[in-house]
Amino acid sequence: MLTVTDALSPNFDQRRGPPDMVLLHYTGMQTAEAAVARLRDPEAQVSAHYVVDEDGGVLRLVPEERRAWHAGQSWWKGETDINAVSIGIEIVNPGHEFGYRDFPESQIASVITLLNEIRARWSIEDARILGHSDVAPSRKQDPGERFPWRALAAYRHGLWFEPAAERIAALGPPLGPGDTGLGVHVLQAGLHRLGYEPLPDGKYTEETRITVEAFQRHWRPSRVDGIADGETRATLMGILQLATAESVTGVLN
Q: pLDDT tens per residue, the chain (253 residues)?
A: 799 999 999 999 999 999 999 999 999 999 999 999 999 999 999 999 999 999 999 999 999 999 999 999 999 999 999 999 999 999 999 999 999 999 999 999 999 999 999 999 999 999 999 999 999 999 999 999 999 999 999 999 999 999 999 889 888 899 999 999 999 999 999 999 999 998 899 999 999 999 999 999 999 999 999 999 999 999 999 999 999 998 776 544 3
Helix (H, G, I), strand (E, B) or coil at 203: strand
For 15, counting Cβ atoms within 10 Å of its Cβ (0-12 exposed, 13-18 middle, 19+ buried), the class is middle
Contact indicator for 122, 114 with CB cutoff of 8 Å:
no
What residues contact 147, with CB distance under 8 A and at least 6 apart? 24, 26, 91, 103, 131, 221
Instruction: Choose, from 90, 145, 197, 231, the residue flagged as catalytic.
Output: 90
| Eight-class DSSP state of 180 | B
CA–CA gap between residue 191 and residue 219 (Å, rounded): 12
Looking at residue 1, its amino acid is M
pLDDT for the residue 170? 87
Instruction: Count Cβ neighbours within 10 Å for each residue of 209-233 and write b for 16 or more, e otherwise.
Output: bbbbbbbbbbbbeeebebbbbbbbb
pLDDT for the residue 252? 40
Torsion of CA 132, 136, 139, 145, to 10 degrees: 40
pLDDT for the residue 1? 79
pLDDT for the residue 166? 86
pLDDT for the residue 253? 39
Which residues are 87's β-sheet partners?
A: 22
User: Strands 21-26 and 66-68, how do they pair?
Assistant: unpaired
Torsion of CA 216, 222, 31, 67, to 10 degrees: 30
DSSP per-residue letters across 46-105? ---SEEE-TTS-EEE-S-TTEEE----S--BTTB--HHHHEEEEEE---TTTS---PPPH
Return left, alpha or beta for 172; rule: phi > 0 is left, psi -120 to 50 is alpha, else beta: left
Closest by Cα among 238, 236, 189, 188 to 209 = 188
CA–CA gap between residue 55 and residue 4 (Å, rounded): 13
Annotated catalytic residue 90: yes
pTM: 0.96
pLDDT for the residue 250? 59
pLDDT for the residue 251? 46
Looking at residue 55, its amino acid is D
